[in-house]
């Protein structure tokens, strides 16, 4: 078993509180979030020597240059990895690596989006732009595939292969809404966005009776579209000792991609590759994890990722999520998306950064759905489209 190292820790976080923010730009969200995260850590802009950016926020095609200028920073490390919603887990992994190599001491990750205010059609809009057809979409674009339809294919295949039911998938929505109702910012967001069926807990029956979006996925199995953003500050061990908050250590990281293949299994995600690397590096097992912050673009995303991360065997995810066993107040399984997740708290287009912020809150003892004395968490991001080409990154986090 590898020796667990504590090279880098999350020392500052901030989540932009509004889910509906007309008149605010994504860059303003990024800047405000960065300033608040640095302040929380007791650090300043001049301490930052590494920037990680996914090209969000309207910074343009050369986001590494633009964001450094906007923040008035001259970093030693600029990383513009952009792989969809998991970009921020990739960034955390790269920050740990760069800090361990001595290339940086304080890394800044930011995200900002006004998807709701700009009325983006994230899940149901067409996936192919103008110009010649891309060879990367030649199996989907010709048939008018939308983003959600890829996830629906995975859900239907999982049902066919393993007998998974819509009622079991609905349990995931019920659990995340249970947590969202204990998060004041998520609850206000539900009211501001006028989410159906209102700012209240939901039942399996509520999910099943909500509008079908892409068979077999219902409206309440789909992530919300909100504004939002945030920031994460990651520091070296010597810097982390003097910051204001309890450091949350990055213990292990794994990265992977997956794409359509002849004879490939669309119910298996990139997490099947990234998770063993991350758990192996951290020297921990899935059954030791107390907090599971898992990308929840749709309920089927969570189900497949729980299996591929090793919490249950492939095909057993349906039974695993039944009965509310992933709620924070239950024992025997990790608490799932305790901020309310993308299904009920916020999803401005790419949600990976919020997985890191809520996992950090849990390990500090600051969550609105707090697991007592939590010591280990996993944050797993999924970018792109499950069932087609997508990325996955697994981050294991722990506290002293």
Give the number of domains in the chain.
Answer: 1
Q: Residue 219 domain-assigned? A: no
Query: Using CA atoms, how far apart are residues 365 and 373, in angstroms rounded to an integer?
Result: 7
Q: Which residues pair with 203 in a beta bridge?
A: none
Q: Residue 382 domain-assigned? A: yes
Residues spanned by the domain of 82: 8-118+225-398
HEC states along 204-259? HHHHHHCCEEECCEEHHHECCCCEEEEEEEEEEHHHHCCCCCCCEEEEEEEEEEEC
Q: Residue 147 domain-assigned? A: no
- pLDDT: is 262 or 122 the higher one? 262
Any idea what the CATH number is for the domain that residue 59 is in? Answer: 3.40.47.10
Q: Residue 168 domain-assigned? A: no
Two tokens, residue 383? 């970018």
Torsions phi, psi for 38 (to 5 deg):
-65, -40
Helices 166-180, 299-308: crossing angle, 10 deg rounding = 100
Q: Residue 174 domain-assigned? A: no
Q: What is the pLDDT of residues 159-215, one digit of tens each?
A: 999 999 999 999 999 999 999 999 999 999 999 999 999 999 999 999 999 999 999
Q: What is the pLDDT of residues 117-167, one digit of tens each?
A: 998 767 665 554 445 566 777 767 777 788 899 999 999 999 999 999 999
Task: Please state whether the predicted TM-score (pTM) of the whole model is above 0.85.
Answer: yes
Non-local (6+) Cβ contacts of 332 within 8 A are 325
Q: Residue 338 domain-assigned? A: yes
Quote the pLDDT of residue 123.
Answer: 61
- Asked if residue 96 has pLDDT above 70, the reply is yes
Average pLDDT over residues 316-326: 97
Q: What is the pLDDT of residues 16-68, one digit of tens each?
A: 999 999 999 999 999 999 999 999 999 999 999 999 999 998 766 678 889 99
Burial track 63-96 (b if 16+ CB lie within 10 A, e otherwise): bbebbbebbebebebbbbbbbbbbbbbbbbbbbb
Q: Residue 350 domain-assigned? A: yes
Query: Using CA atoms, how far apart are residues 341 and 330, in angstroms rounded to an integer?
Result: 18
Q: Residue 28 domain-assigned? A: yes
User: At 222, is the pLDDT very low, low, confident or very high (cuts 50, 70, 90)?
Assistant: very high
């Amino acid at each position: 078993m590898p020796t667990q190292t504590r090279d880098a820790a999350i020392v500052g976080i901030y989540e932009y509180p509004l889910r509906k923010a007309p008149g605010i730009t994504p860059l303003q969200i990024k800047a405000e979030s960065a300033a608040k995260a640095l302040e929380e850590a007791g650090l300043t802009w001049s301490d930052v020597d590494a920037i990680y950016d996914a090209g969000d926020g309207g910074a343009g095609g050369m986001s590494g240059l633009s964001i450094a200028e906007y923040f008035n920073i001259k970093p030693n490390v600029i990383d513009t990895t952009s792989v969809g919603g998991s970009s921020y887990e990739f960034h955390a992994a790269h920050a740990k690596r760069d800090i361990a190599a001595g290339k940086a001491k304080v890394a800044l990750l930011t995200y900002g989006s006004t998807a709701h205010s700009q009325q983006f059609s994230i899940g149901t809009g067409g996936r192919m732009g103008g110009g010649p057809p891309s060879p990367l979409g030649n199996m989907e674009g010709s048939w008018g595939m939308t983003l959600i339809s890829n996830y629906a294919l995975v859900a239907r295949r999982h049902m066919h292969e393993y007998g998974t039911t819509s009622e079991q998938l609905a349990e995931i929505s019920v659990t995340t809404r249970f947590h969202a109702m204990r998060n004041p910012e998520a609850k206000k967001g539900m009211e501001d966005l006028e989410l159906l069926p209102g700012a209240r807990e939901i039942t399996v029956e509520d999910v099943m009776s909500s509008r079908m979006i892409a068979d077999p996925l219902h409206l309440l199995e789909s992530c919300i579209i909100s504004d939002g953003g945030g920031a994460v500050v990651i520091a070296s061990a010597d810097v982390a000792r003097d910051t204001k908050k309890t450091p949350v250590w990055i213990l292990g990281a794994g990265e992977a991609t997956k794409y359509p293949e002849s004879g490939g299994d669309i119910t298996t995600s990139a997490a099947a590759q990234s998770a063993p690397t991350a758990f192996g590096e951290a020297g921990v097992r899935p059954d030791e994890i107390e907090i599971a912050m898992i990308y929840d673009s749709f309920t089927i995303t969570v189900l497949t990722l729980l299996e591929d991360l090793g919490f249950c065997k492939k095909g057993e995810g349906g039974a695993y999520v039944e009965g509310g066993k992933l709620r924070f107040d239950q024992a025997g399984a990790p608490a799932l998306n305790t901020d309310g997740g993308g299904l009920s708290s916020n999803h401005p287009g790419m949600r990976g950064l919020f997985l890191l912020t809520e996992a950090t809150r849990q390990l500090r003892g600051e969550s609105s759905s707090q697991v007592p004395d939590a010591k280990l968490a996993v944050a797993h991001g999924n970018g792109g489209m499950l069932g087609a080409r997508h990325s996955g990154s697994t981050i294991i986090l722990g506290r002293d």
